[in-house]
Amino acid sequence: MSNDKLSFGKGFRDGLPFVFVIVPFGMLFGVVATEAGLDLAQVMVMTVLVIAGASQFAAIQQMGDSAPVFIVLATALAVNLRMAMYSATMAPHLGAAPLWKRAVAAYFLVDQSAVLATAEFEARPKATLAEKFAYFFGVVAPIAPLWYGATWIGAVVGGRIPESFALDFAMPITFLAMIAPMVKTLAHLGAALTSVVVALALAWMPYGTGLLVAAVCAMAVGSFIEVAQARRAAA
């Protein structure tokens, strides 16, 4: 078996556990989106084009609160700013590929593929470009189709899903599982704590705009700590 197939298989196996949270996550979005007034076609277009659960939930919540369009867009953009950091992390590994291949990878650049691929590429620095792409798409293979399918089920079934299923557990569990292992430095810890404290302190702000302020503050604190550490090391 070729190395590419082995890498794809490893990526598939690594991505498979996320199915247990992707399915309820997608179903919950389908339910919430239909309850917010979107029809089935609108729900599916949004989930296929955006393919970013956190920003989709944020946008739907804002729409349900009748927030202005620019607030909806700003919130979704702020939530998805992490994708810019993911892209910067992937660039040294996948940047040499043809444009069309990078474009496909950019579409499938989600939290799971970014986190797992980053860990894999750091562990295997000598892997070829083809092997890295094979691993990346292997991770996505069990996740993306189930995200679409689960969203469709949630939108079709809607409010008939019993509350005892507690689908809303999926979002926090997913992000905790991915983010916690990534908090490796003082800068990471400072940014994470800042985001939590500021978001809670500004929960009173309309349309959830406190999250936007929290994101900016977290990035500022993280950057400040990194610069301070670099200066101390250079001294």
Query: Burial of 235 by CB count in 10 Å (0-12 exposed, 13-18 middle, 19+ buried)?
Result: exposed
pLDDT tens digits, one per residue of 142-195:
999 999 999 999 888 866 656 555 555 555 655 555 566 566 678 778 888 898
112 has a pLDDT exceeding 90: no
| Distances from the Cα of 159 to the Cα of 58, 165, 167, angstroms | 20, 12, 12
Helix, strand and coil percent figures for the chain, each rounded to 5: 85, 0, 15
Question: Which helix (H) or strand (E) is 120 found in, with range?
Answer: helix 111-123
Residue range 213-220: mean pLDDT, rounded: 84
pLDDT of residue 169: 56
pLDDT tens digits, one per residue of 113-122:
988 999 899 8
Q: How many other C-beta atoms lie within 10 A of the C-beta of residue 166? A: 10
Instruction: Report pTM.
Output: 0.74
102 has a pLDDT exceeding 90: yes
State the Cα–Cα distance between residues 80 and 64, nearest whole angstrom: 20
pLDDT tens digits, one per residue of 80-99:
877 887 888 899 999 989 99
Domain ranges of the chain: 3-164, 183-235
Work out the angle at residue 215's Cα, subtended by the Cα atoms of residues 83 and 119, and round it to the nearest 5 degrees: 40
Q: How many other C-beta atoms lie within 10 A of the C-beta of residue 167? A: 21
